[in-house]
Structure 1
Amino acid sequence: MQLLIEQSPSYNMANSPLKMIGRKLKFMEAIGGDTLYQLSNSGVNLFSKFFGNSVGLIETRKGRLYQKPKVTKVVSQQLRAGDILLEKTPFRLTDKFIPGHWGHAAIWVGTEQELRTLGIWEHKVVKQYQQQIKQNHLVVEALRPGVEMNSLHKFLNVDDLAILRNSRLNDMELADRIILALRQVGKEYDFNFNVETTDKIVCSELIYVVYTGIKWPTKKALGRFTISPDNVASKVLNNGPLELISLFHNGSLVTDNSSLKMEQLLKID
């Protein structure tokens, strides 16, 4: 996330907002790190939001897993309530400025039947979203408009996909995680990328906030602690708490040693 923050137009705010706007797609030139420390969080949030909303509109094609009924069927059969989804979209400009391989993380809250089995279908939090769940909007994710629930069909506009699972949870613990995930719906997107603030959420922060029992790797970048999707993915390695259930790379299912492939994608020796 440090790269994303450092390359945000927020850096130029103290010098010339108009100049920043005029050069919003030339933000890769080096800018002094001390500038950001002089800005308030609200200022960083405002200009990061402007940057994200501008660049986020650029998509050169659709994902290799998009509108593939066989892929959708396979993935939906593999998914279980509470699973973590990671994706990569190299055809979107925003993907170029996220450190590491993975660009986004989300949580699959599960079907009506799964939530009934877990005994939480009538929970007051779940009841607020029963209609969305019945309409198969089972992916909770933090996007630029905020934390929302979307369908698997929409989510699969990607090239790479990983399904991660915390198999060490009992049913009660899993139910608590799902309720906590649903509590995040409606929150604003965290354009400050700060894991220590929970009133606003960025995509990988969603995993951090929901799976509190996992010791997540974070990095201090420009005065704030951040977590990237790659940090989330790293927990499937070295007998970590997460299990890699399925991995798609460049539009194809990885059938041979997916754990090794994940390690290669993360560039971990």
Structure 2
Amino acid sequence: MVRTVCQGTWLLLALCLTHVCGAVEEGTVADVSALGGEGVIARATSDALAVQRYRRGIQGILLFMESRPGLFPKEPDHVAPLLTREQREAVRALWGRLFDYYLGLDAIGRFHGRFHALGEKEQRQAAFVVAYAAFLAQYRFALDFIDRASPNPSLDTLLNEAIPHLGLPGKTYARFKFRYLNVARATEFVALKATAKVLGAARVASPLQQGMAEDSAFIWQMGRGQGHVLTGKNAIDIVKGLGFTAWLPVQTGVAEWMGDTKVWRSGRSLITAEQTHRALALLEPGDVLFERREWHLSNIGIPGFWTHMALYIGTPDQRRAFFDTPGVRDWLTRQEGEDATVDELLQRSFPEAYATLLTPFDDGHQRRVIEAISPGVTFTSFEKTAHADSLAVLRPRLDRVAKAVALVRAFGYAGRPYDYNFDFRTDAALVCSELVFKCYEKGDGSPGLCLPTELVAGRPVTPPNAVVREYGGTDAITSQFDFVLFLDGYERHGRAVVADVAALRLSWRRPKWHVFTRTLPQKE
């Protein structure tokens, strides 16, 4: 059933292509042609996995839409229904997640879009497959999303509203539809298909092949196979001219400069080593870290300004001194049946994790932090995790027994994989905020923290930004946390500055992709 693009006429819905994002200065965009031979293959391999993750994320969005027939009916509703507040919030959250995944796919497609500039055939093939897969996923799921949203006229109005905290202006959905229900996009699709044949892309061993085949078949079905018949040379010329342009109306240049590693400030963060060293002196075991990295695609799929959380556990000496209190000693005696320290309990209960903790991190520093990142739940150095662009630290208003319980739980999760499904209902894999959430759950002698949860695509999650938002809505009496520090990054000025609790309380309101919109506050 095809509603939005019925009778195969979607190829004729528009006559020209618009570039929604502005151009960027020549030379500022890193792309695949700047990499060496092995670098091309390594980057293509890494980005292929990212495309798969983003594709699965979008599939989750569509499954959620299918599970809500009252909100996303299959047959057209000629009278726009009045949506409840809960429904409106669910749609906005869904749109925000789709925005994120498309930003990631845009960045990957643009990075590999100059595949034709590579000298070796194997490199051209590898880069092309990734760029082609990103394009197909965007195109296929755009058609599917528009098709599912079209029967409810209220959604068109809602999706075109501005969403300030995402940095989305009004009419974003209209631009989205114009981009994908457009003859230029159809021409690019056919050109890429012809280019794939010329390059022998189907023979490239890639985990993306199955998804590409499914996406291509879906697009042909929606368009009834219409399009120009192109020669290989003409197809490549068209692909060069269209250049995997981005549609997203974020600040000019953001999508072009994004990558799964930094491409704008490669290897350098706004927070300096000196600031990290000074911050370290303020921390205690059990502190919760909130982090922001401007140029990382690891932000994809995580709503809001703050996109990462971690738990500070300290060093053996720091834990020994911090937990040397009558209350903790009594708790340890109940756990162990004899006098013990927290570290002795950790070592006996989790010998492998504890042995890992005692080894220096890759940067040579002590491991003082536990966090859930793409390799899984792992111990890292504070210097590594604070290599960020903004950093905040909040201290739970709990006694030291509750913090000892949190650390013991954290060690129990060490080594578990990262949860790319963002599903808090299982402990088999965890995301960053889920680790903190479960370490500070009520139980085992701890009153715990009551961290906010939100439904995203029907699943309960605790976005880091939501925790800061709740903190911002409390005062010195009602808060669950005490303020420790806030290092606030300013992209325009290339540095982070020490900010106060008032600034942190408002930080959750910032647009997610805001990097060029802020200037340093004026000194009085």
**Contact 2:471–2:505 (8 Å) recurs in 1:** no
Alpha-carbon distance in 2 for matches of 1:252, 1:222: 34
Unmatched 5+ stretches in structure 1: 10-17, 36-46, 48-54
Mapping of 1:36-51 within 5 angstroms? none
Task: Summarize deviations over 1:220-264 as a string: whole Å, max 9, x none.
Answer: 122211110112223433132011200000143334xx2210122
1:59–1:91 contact (8 Å) kept in structure 2: yes
* Aligned with residue 160 of structure 1, among 390, 393, 409: 390
Is the strand fraction higher in 1 or 2? 1
Q: 1:93 to 1:19 in 2, by over 3 A?
A: closer
Which has the larger share of helix? 2
Paired position in structure 2 for 1:4? 97
2:196 corresponds to which residue?
A: none
* Unpaired stretches in structure 2, ≥5 consecutive residues: 1-92, 103-129, 149-210, 212-257, 324-340, 361-365, 442-447, 490-494, 511-524
Structure-2 residue corresponding to 1:265: 507
**Helix, strand or coil: the match of 1:141?**
strand
**Are 2:343 and 1:121 aligned?**
yes
What SS does structure 2 have at the residue aligned with 1:261?
Answer: helix
Residue identity in the other structure for 1:152 = F
Amino acid at match of 1:73: H
Partner of 2:468: 233
Give CA deviations for 1:65-115 in whole Å, capped at 9, x if unaligned.
Answer: 1xx332122111011101111110012133365321101110011111132
> How large is the RMSD of aligned CA atoms in angstroms?
3.0
Relative contact order (C-alpha < 8 Å, sep 6+): which is higher?
1
Evaluate the alpha carbon distance shift between residue 7 and residue 158 of structure 1 in structure 2; reply closer, same or farther with a 3 A threshold: closer
Superposed displacement of residue 125, structure 1: 3.4
Counterpart for residue 207 of structure 1? 436
What corresponds to 1:79 in structure 2?
A: 283
Q: Which moved more, 1:81-90 or 1:236-245?
A: 236-245
Task: Please point out which of 205, 211, 217 is paired with 2:452.
Answer: 217
**Structure 1 residue runs of 4+, over 6 Å off?**
none
In 1: Cα distance, 2:501 partner to 2:349 partner: 35
Q: 1:59 corresponds to which letter in structure 2?
A: K
Query: What amino acid sits opposite 2:343 in the alignment?
Result: W
Q: Give the residue type in structure 2 aligned to 1:132.
A: L
Query: Which has the larger Rg?
Result: 2
SS at match of 1:173: helix
For the 8 Å contact 1:90–1:96, the answer to whether it is kept is: no
Count the aligned residue pairs: 237
State the AA in 1 paired with 2:367: H
Q: Does 1:59 align with 2:152?
A: no
Q: TM-score scaled to structure 2, two decimals? A: 0.41
Q: Residue 104 of structure 1 corresponds to which residue in structure 2?
A: 308
Amino acid at match of 2:415: G
The C-alpha deviation readout for 1:160-204, integer Å capped at 9, x for no partner, is 00011113x222221111111111110111111111211110011
